[in-house]
Amino acid sequence: MKNIIEKINNLKNNLNKWGHAYYVLDSPIVDDAEYDKTLKELIELENQYPELITDDSPSQKVGGIVMDKFEKYKHKLPMLSLANAFNKEDLLNFNDQIKKEIENSDYNFFVEPKIDGLSISLIYNNGKFFKGVTRGDGIYGEDVTSNVKTIKSIPLSIEDQNDYVEIRGEVFLSKTEFEKINKQRQTNDEEIFANPRNAAAGTLRQLDSSIAASRKLDAFLYYFMDREKFHTHSESLSYLEKMNFKINDLGKICKSIEEVYEHILYIQSQRENLEYEIDGVVIKINDFDLYEKVGYTAKSPKWAIAFKFPAEVKTTKLKNIFPTVGRTGRITYNALLQPVQIAGTTVQAATLHNADFIIQRDIRIGGEVKIKKAGDIIPEVIAPIIDENYYKLNKWIEDTNCPICNSLLERVEGEVDQYCINSQCPRKIVRGLEHFVSRDAMNIEGLSIKIIEKLFENKFIENVGDIYKLNKYKNELIQLDKMGEKSVTNLLESIEKSKSNSLEKLFFGLGIRHVGKKTAKVLAVNFKEIDVISNINFNELEEINDIGPIVAKSVCDWFEIKQNADLIKTLKNEGLNTKYLGNEGSKNNDKITMKSFVITGTLSKPRNYFKEMLEEYGAKVIDTVSKKTDFLLAGQEAGSKLEKAQKLGIQILSESEFLEMIGE
């Protein structure tokens, strides 16, 4: 046995060393075949002696754990975000603010790329990896340990043997890996990810960790939480590097704002050549000793700022303009482009919004156009490049008929958009079904747009009611191309589960015009049951805070259509819950119910606790103070929101005043 243990340890040490060289340092010391052979040998030995498998074995990086859901995890210290700077002037202001707080001190900055991924917190206990948690709302994150474990550049054990070590950083997908995943998704008829960040987010939230393992997530670490240990940020980074974490190599100490700006321009010039997406640069004071002196606002530290890059603009040829039909029948025009690299991804389509947008800019097929892509936003055509040949191209004329069902398009008074008003337009129906099953609505997994189209074409579903009849056709569904037994079983399970959703999800899913997620919730909280909503008249609806005449009319009109009333009956017959299941609005207090609150500063419990409490009383909690705010609940060290509320004469409540008010 002693021999076996030694052998296993030997294999593990080698794999750890080679893995670090390959995944962190980017300079392999053995070839892939040797690595794979050694890993296989380790796994075989571990299979033979399962009692010798340790949590930090390199074999644990392959995933395989399947979760039901991710647990919430409270961060030991909130995960803050950063204030933004967009130009040099913002940087100078940032520096002036610092100087105000720490006269006479000499300080340096540390300037590093802002990785466009997802923040992650890694916790190690006694040198062993313990947990990986997402940012979440900053106070509570999601415990995604099983997925983080599969990230090859994150060590499962570290030299630092402290009982609690927390390190924060950014999980990302390389540009190459992103393109690879999207290509594969395209072949599988799956929807493609808009950018590497979305793909990384989708991967980190996969319940099956072998999917995460197969997608090659990566992570840069940039924040060692125990600042007592070091004097400077740069020292802490060297320490992280020594402990085998991946540290970005473009970071630099800068002695003045001038130098900071120079390094920002340098990083920006490297942006296109990098293997990962960055969306700006982070500037931090390098000296830890000054952090507490410089301090924090409610949301972000004052000792750091994020310099955001402007959206990238490129020129390419407009090959064609094609319309698409949305769920509501709205027509969107799209540009088919000569493929062009922009912000790290290949772009071949961009939005042109509506007909007016194209006509006002005189955009013509065959000409050159400027396009821009900013963050999450879909690439957009900004303007044509007009040269002497431009006017030889044909002027573009808007479509008059629906590209799908050919019915005449209409324009609603006062709106710029054209609509297909044929309620039987196949595209509208399919898009409506897609909306119904989407995550914020009924959250039915396994019904991608491609599958919906297939089920629609094969007449399995024609409206949302039919989704709940699919269980009668299990065998027929299994026969359909690309469905298979497992995916059909999963789909039917997910459909069954959705029956017990709370009313607001169903109500949002119905796709009533002007009823977004928020409005659906307001209606559900106020009326509790779909039959109550369906029988209500315009005036009663409009009386509700947050419901205006447009929404009220749209809701009344919807229930008046016989087909819709029948649909509700069908859904009830199929056993769908039509009641509100939350406890918002379950309590009543004249002083609070229907009032709007802003919460700021540090309270005795996380802000979410107070938010949920307020919502139980049917109060609304919003982010920004305005004239419409009724109360500001202010904790310790409240900043700009408190100032603004004072200026606007809004009633300010301390935590104890608030608790007294509700009698708790």
**Residue numbers annotated as active site:** 114
Q: Which is nearer to ligand IVH, 67 or 80 (CB)?
A: 80
In whole angstroms, give the CA distance from residue 429 to residue 567.
Answer: 14
Token pair of 660, please? 């007294």
Match 């928020």 to its residue by tokens. Answer: 518
3-state secondary structure of 120: strand
Rounded (5°) CA angle 360-330-345: 70
> Minimum CB separation from ligand IVH for residue 533, in Å?
39
Instruction: State yes or no: 493 annotated in a binding site.
Output: no
Q: Which is nearer to ligand IVH, 118 or 552 (CB)?
A: 118
The dihedral sign for the CA sequence 362, 368, 370, 375? positive
In whole angstroms, give the CA distance from residue 202 to residue 212.
Answer: 9
- For residue 369, which of 323, 319, 310, 322 has the smallest C-alpha distance? 319
- For residue 486, which of 308, 494, 413 has the smallest C-alpha distance? 494
The identity of residue 104, as a single letter, is N
Instruction: State yes or no: 32 annotated in a binding site.
Output: yes
Q: Which residues of 492-513 are buried (b: 16+ CB within 10 A; e: fewer)?
A: bebbeebeebebbbbbbbbbbe
In whole angstroms, give the CA distance from residue 409 to residue 355.
Answer: 12
> Minimum CB separation from ligand IVH for residue 278, in Å?
8
H/E stretch holding 434 reads helix 426-437
In whole angstroms, give the CA distance from residue 323 to residue 427.
Answer: 12
Instruction: State yes or no: 362 annotated in a binding site.
Output: no
> Minimum CB separation from ligand IVH for residue 135, in Å?
6
Q: Which is nearer to ligand IVH, 304 or 555 (CB)?
A: 304
Pairing of the two strands 620-622 and 596-600: parallel
Instruction: State yes or no: 35 annotated in a binding site.
Output: yes
- What is the radius of gyration, based on Cα positions, of the chain? 28
Instruction: State yes or no: 556 annotated in a binding site.
Output: no
Q: Which is nearer to ligand IVH, 62 or 306 (CB)?
A: 306
Q: Which is nearer to ligand IVH, 240 or 331 (CB)?
A: 240
Helix axis angle for 32-48 and 2-19, nearest 10°, is 150
Please answer whether residues 86 and 264 qualify as being in contact, where contact means their C-beta atoms are separated by less than 8 angstroms. no
Give residue number: closest CB to ligand IVH: 119
Q: Which is nearer to ligand IVH, 226 or 529 (CB)?
A: 226
Q: Which is nearer to ligand IVH, 81 or 406 (CB)?
A: 81
Q: Which is nearer to ligand IVH, 24 or 115 (CB)?
A: 115
> Minimum CB separation from ligand IVH for residue 258, in Å?
21
> Minimum CB separation from ligand IVH for residue 308, in Å?
10
> Minimum CB separation from ligand IVH for residue 341, in Å?
22
Q: Which is nearer to ligand IVH, 77 or 561 (CB)?
A: 77
> Minimum CB separation from ligand IVH for residue 306, in Å?
5
The dihedral sign for the CA sequence 535, 541, 543, 546? positive
Could you please report the per-residue DSSP string of 545-590? TT--HHHHHHHHHHHHSHHHHHHHHHHHHTT---B--S-TT-S--T
Token pair of 243, please? 């402990």
- For residue 145, which of 217, 204, 219, 74 has the smallest C-alpha distance? 204
In whole angstroms, give the CA distance from residue 299 to residue 379.
Answer: 30
- Three-state secondary structure readout of 332-389: EEEEEEEEEEECCEEEEEEECCCHHHHHHHCCCCCCEEEEEECCCCCCEEEEEECCCC
In whole angstroms, give the CA distance from residue 219 to residue 208.
Answer: 19
> Minimum CB separation from ligand IVH for residue 136, in Å?
11
Instruction: State yes or no: 587 annotated in a binding site.
Output: no
Please answer whether residues 407 and 421 qualify as being in contact, where contact means their C-beta atoms are separated by less than 8 angstroms. yes
> Minimum CB separation from ligand IVH for residue 169, in Å?
8
Instruction: State yes or no: 308 annotated in a binding site.
Output: yes
> Minimum CB separation from ligand IVH for residue 228, in Å?
17
Instruction: State yes or no: 254 annotated in a binding site.
Output: no
At a CB cut-off of 8 Å and minimum separation 6, what does 53 contact? 46, 59, 60
H/E stretch holding 307 reads strand 304-308
> Minimum CB separation from ligand IVH for residue 112, in Å?
5
Q: Which is nearer to ligand IVH, 15 or 85 (CB)?
A: 85
3-state secondary structure of 408: strand
Q: Which is nearer to ligand IVH, 120 or 452 (CB)?
A: 120
Token pair of 213, please? 């393992």
Instruction: State yes or no: 405 annotated in a binding site.
Output: yes
In whole angstroms, give the CA distance from residue 106 to residue 116.
Answer: 31
- For residue 175, which of 312, 341, 338 has the smallest C-alpha distance? 341
| Residues making contact with ligand IVH (CB under 6 A) | 80-82, 112, 114-115, 119, 170, 222-223, 282, 301, 304, 306
The DSSP symbol for 58 reads G
Instruction: State yes or no: 567 annotated in a binding site.
Output: no
In whole angstroms, give the CA distance from residue 178 to residue 185.
Answer: 11
In whole angstroms, give the CA distance from residue 304 to residue 91.
Answer: 10
Please give the annotated binding residues, written as ranges. Answer: 32-36, 81-82, 112, 135, 170, 284, 308, 402, 405, 420, 425
Please give the annotated binding residues for Zn(2+), written as ranges. Answer: 402, 405, 420, 425
Please give the annotated binding residues for NAD(+), written as ranges. Answer: 32-36, 81-82, 112, 135, 170, 284, 308
